[in-house]
Structure 1
């Protein structure tokens, strides 16, 4: 299978929002309740447009169709789309800080076929080229096995409270090259 990767654009946002909903609803059912899933889509999961502006968010294509998306960040936010933050993130220092691996979503039709791994490799290479040798991410429970397979280690469990009373379990993970 040939996976092509390109930088995401603002024109991609409507399709990526659909992809995110399909990904979370299709891949999280064994890990999260329906209430957690819908609340997370509403309050946390979405596009962080700062990643598009920074040129660090990617779209993975298989046969011309969007199969997944994900990115990395040189900014402080660990997870969440525009609806989850209020101000622009401060920049990280590659000499002492870890780049953030951000907003990975794979369409259920392409799950466990190398799309997430491909995007991760693109992100790690780009972050390394920008001077980072440490990485952090906030993983959803369905994503933990991929990240572990790629050398990330859990460092903290996070119970993220959501405005409607739901709580989303996340795992802060890290990796050093």
Structure 2
């Protein structure tokens, strides 16, 4: 099954939010509790429209079906969608800062078929073209194995408190 990538557009947001919820519910079981999953979908996981506006968010499609998404950022935010941010993201300096690898989600029916890896390769190449030489991300627990295989190293465990009292474990990882 050939998978192609393209830049996401604002018109894709509703389909992306559906994919994100489906991905989190399907791939986070066994890593997080059901209440953590639902809380994270409500308060953290969602589309970050700034990535789409910046032209750094990609969609993976197979047979005209969105099977994955992910991006990179030249801005400071490490993780989270629009609902998780309160202010505009300041720009990073590629000479000193690491590009952020952001918001990776794969449809559960297409998991472990190389889609996440394909999107990461596209993102890293684009970030290098923009002058970045290192990368940083906030990984969910189900994403850690993929990022490790892609050369990322865990550097910090972050307990992200959510407004309803739930806490979501995130792993800060770096490469380069």
Shorter-chain TM-score tier: over 0.9
Quote the residue 1:136 is aligned against: 136
Quote the residue 1:37 is aligned against: 37
Quote the residue 2:165 is aligned against: 165
Distance 2:87 2:169 in 1: 24
Q: What is the 5 A alignment of 1:1-40?
A: 1-40=1-40
Alignment gaps of 5+ in structure 2: none
1:174 counterpart SS class: strand
How many angstroms does 1:137 deviate by? 0.2
1:158 counterpart SS class: strand
Please report the TM-score for the alignment, with normalisation by the length of structure 1. 0.99
Distance 1:106 1:115 in 2: 7
Distance 2:53 2:131 in 1: 19
Please report the TM-score for the alignment, with normalisation by the length of structure 2. 0.99
Asked whether 1:55 is paired with 2:55, we answer: yes
Quote the residue 2:79 is aligned against: 79
Distance 2:46 2:70 in 1: 11
Quote the residue 2:149 is aligned against: 149
Asked whether 1:120 is paired with 2:120, we answer: yes
Alignment coverage as a number of residue pairs: 176
Quote the residue 2:105 is aligned against: 105
Quote the residue 2:92 is aligned against: 92
2:92 counterpart SS class: coil
How many angstroms does 1:2 deviate by? 1.3
Q: Which runs of 4+ in 1 moved over 6 A?
A: none
Q: Give deviations 1:46-89, integer Å, cap 9, x for gaps.
A: 00000000000000001111000000000000000000011110
